Amino acid sequence: MKKKVNAAILIIGNEILSGRTQDKNIVFISNWLNSKCGISVKEVRIIPDIEKTIIENVLLLSKKFNYLFTTGGIGPTHDDITAQSISKAFKLKYEFHQEAYGILEKYYGKKKFNDGRKKMAKMPRDAKLIYNPSSAAPGFMTKNVLSLPGVPSILKSMIENCKRYLIKGLKIHSKTVNLYTVESNVAKKLGQIQKRYKKFVEIGSYPFFRLGKIGVAIVTRSTSLSKLKSVNKEIMKLVKLKKNTNFKNLNQIIYFVDINGLYI
């Protein structure tokens, strides 16, 4: 039977923390896990290329969640230490993976298969490969930790190859209603609705500024489609109630269709 499955994302790289590189992987991985696998991302961390820090976070997050996705640090340079650090975290031998070695040797050719490129074939013993259709160098899975490259275009090309190792969770449905109002106008009622449905539906409100107007997006998410519909009926009653009490800034409602094709 399907159940609720969760994950964490660990972004590894000094270049992210310094601001030199903008991370694009968090949004992509989170959306992919939610929409394709029914897996909810519950925590994200960004850490430097420091072995001790990687080990501590890998051990903590791999115990806390069903899956841990790491990005970055599996390339050919001296500061790519993710594979070595994960080996130490789980007390596994750090060695050449024979299949990965063969893939890379064939891709580069024996003459151009230098030490840096060979390094990308080293990983924890008995790691499962995540194949790379873009640049050959595979990612890998150790226990419940899936390690992917930091380059967004390469990561995107590899992500589907993670599916074989994942247990799918319950599909997460979502609906969004965008209102031209301020959060404080609906905060109390939303809180009351959330309290009644807290075990079944997650309600979030997110301010926006669009076309010179202030608004709030009310996002509801649940594995139960029936509970989601019930909550959104109550939200629409709130909107109608506000209209009847002459809250003019609620008169315009934007209907938003999300990735699940659901709308109000």
Domain ranges of the chain: 5-165, 173-256
- Tens digits of per-residue pLDDT, 19-61? 999 999 999 999 999 989 999 999 999 999 999 999 999 999 9
Amino acid of residue 74? I
Q: What are phi and psi of 19, to 5 degrees?
A: 90, 0
Look up the pTM and report it.
0.82
pLDDT band at residue 243 under the 50/70/90 scheme: low
Residue-averaged pLDDT of the chain: 89
Whole-number percent of the chain with pLDDT over 70: 90
Q: What is the CATH architecture assignment of 173-256?
A: 2-Layer Sandwich (3.30)
Domain 5-165 in CATH 3.60.110.10? The answer is: no
Contact 47, 53 (CB under 8 A): yes
| Top mean-pLDDT range of 189-193, 237-241, 246-250 | 189-193
CA atoms within 13 A on the CB side of 9: 24
> CA nearest 202: which of 183, 227, 177?
227
Per-residue pLDDT at 242:
60
Residues 20, 33, 94, 100, CA torsion sign:
negative
- Tens digits of per-residue pLDDT, 175-225? 888 888 888 888 899 999 999 998 899 999 999 888 888 888 899 988 889
Give the C-alpha separation, 72 to 29, whole Å.
13
Beta bridge partner(s), residue 130: 139
- Tens digits of per-residue pLDDT, 132-168? 999 999 999 999 999 999 999 999 999 999 999 999 9
